[in-house]
Structure 1
Amino acid sequence: MAMAGTKYGDCDDKVAGKSQQVDTASTSWRADLAKVDVWYASYGSNMWKPRFLCYIHGGQAEGMIKSCVGSMDKSPPKEILWKTFPHRLFFGRESSFFWGVGGVAYTNPLTNLNDQTHMLEQFNDVLFQENWLNVDSDSPLFDLAALQLVENQGSISLVPASDSLYGNVVCLGKEGVIPILTLTCTLSAIEKFKSGEIPLRPPPKAYANTLIRGLVEEGRFSKEEAEAYIDNAASKPL
């Protein structure tokens, strides 16, 4: 019993030490990236603020079938603005984690983006949740080197999330000196959508209604205009 007790104590010390190291590493990258502002451009359900804030505060909005864990930093967006970009909105895949059966929004793509200001650290937590990854990570998915790269190249595929729904970060330009970033599928996935290997699918009703609410409640579209915009995106081939 004495030996077993000693062995258990050694094991316990090592586990505790490892946990402390992970926490320190996580705290370190978060503290560094929290100093860097980016604009997060949303074109899907995150245009509706109550739904987007699920990624910040946790929980689920009307129509969602799963809850979000929320970000480590619960700070709200610093600012919200609307911009138009010459990109195409479309819907694809059979189902999604948060909305169930039906397509989700992608951009190859879009007009009328809802841009929300976040720190790069918080942007990582959105990335984690969009791709069903653990928020409590000891390293970021998207760091300062990746930010520099995407500003230079226009888009980059994130290796840990390359097979996920939103594994591609795209830089749409800048608002002042702050980069505007959005998430979409990889370029290889675009080709698979075009070939039919990955299906194009209209969004489920609850998901489409969330996009419509985002467009209408912010005063950008009438309800009829928003419905027509979503219907056109869902029916138009790539």
Structure 2
Amino acid sequence: MEEPKVWYASYGSNLHAERFTVYLLGGTPPGGRRATSGCRDKRLPFAVRPFEVPGGIFFATESLVWGGGRAFYDAKLPGSTAMRAYLITLSQFSDVVAQEMYSGVRADVDLREVLTQGRSQLGPGRYETLVRLRGPQGPPTITFTSPWNAGDVPALAPSAAYLRVLGLGVKQAHGWPVPQVARYLAAAPGAAGAWSADEIAALLA
């Protein structure tokens, strides 16, 4: 029987295809500080699609991979969020969640609650809350984010390395010009006030 597939919706550094490939194959992303084990199933995505959803991103909690704040999705923030969906198997999605939590391979994620309720909390961790989104046609579109919203935890400015890979990912996925990408990221809580649009644009030049 064919393994179930999902559209994994990325909004942080995984917008960048080469960075996401490291989660599939294993290794250390360029500019990153920590290696990942890769997925049990190392096939590349079956398809890739850009899309946008209501809400926004914010930066909080310190990343061991990039330094500085991590990106999280909050549907209650104003505006829209640039996302990129990768069509992958359920086991790959489960392994990506595990790697984001710096944990070992575990059983496949149970999607029943998120598919029926739209949201499911696998645990208290920073990327253990699953959210179903309106995305590409076909299999369900699911992202993972924190159990908290913007303002519930202290904001933390992202590092230059993280902003660069995230910004290049937005540009790669959506084809936005650099000034638009820079304004988008500079407006996000955590980056706002710490990084100007001009400074971010210089990182992406």
Normalised by the length of structure 1, the TM-score is 0.74
Is the aligned partner of 1:60 residue 2:28?
Answer: yes
Q: Using the alignment, how far apart are the partners of 1:218 and 1:108 within structure 2? A: 20
Instruction: Determine helix, strand or coil for the equivalent of 2:167.
Output: helix
Q: Using the alignment, how far apart are the partners of 1:67 and 1:123 within structure 2? A: 18
Higher mean C-alpha deviation, range 213-222 or range 45-54:
213-222
- Deviation readout 1:133-190 (Å, 9 max, x if unpaired): 102x3x23x12xxx2211111111003xx2x22010100035333100001001xx22
Is the aligned partner of 1:155 residue 2:119?
Answer: yes
Quickly say closer, same or farther: Cα 1:77–1:151, change in 2 above 3 A: same
**Contact residue 51 and residue 135 of structure 2 kept, 8 A:** no
Residue 178 of structure 2 corresponds to 223
Residue 124 of structure 1 corresponds to 94
1:235 to 188, 192, 198: 192
Name whichever structure is richer in helix by fraction: 1
Instruction: Determine helix, strand or coil for the equivalent of 2:73.
Output: strand
Residue 201 of structure 2 corresponds to none
Instruction: Determine helix, strand or coil for the equivalent of 1:38.
Output: strand
Instruction: Determine helix, strand or coil for the equivalent of 1:181.
Output: strand
Q: Using the alignment, how far apart are the partners of 1:218 and 1:172 within structure 2? A: 18
Give the number of the structure whose alpha-carbon radius of gyration is greater: 1
Alignment gaps of 5+ in structure 1: 1-31
Instruction: Determine helix, strand or coil for the equivalent of 2:130.
Output: strand
Residue 214 of structure 1 corresponds to 169
Residue 113 of structure 1 corresponds to 83
Normalised by the length of structure 2, the TM-score is 0.85
Q: How does 1:114-193 map to 2 (within 5 A)?
A: 114-135=84-105, 137=106, 139-140=107-108, 142-143=109-110, 147-159=111-123, 162=124, 164-173=125-134, 175-186=136-147, 189-190=148-149, 193=150
- Percent identity of paired positions between Structure 1 and Structure 2: 31
How many residues matched?
Answer: 187
**Contact residue 40 and residue 91 of structure 2 kept, 8 A:** no
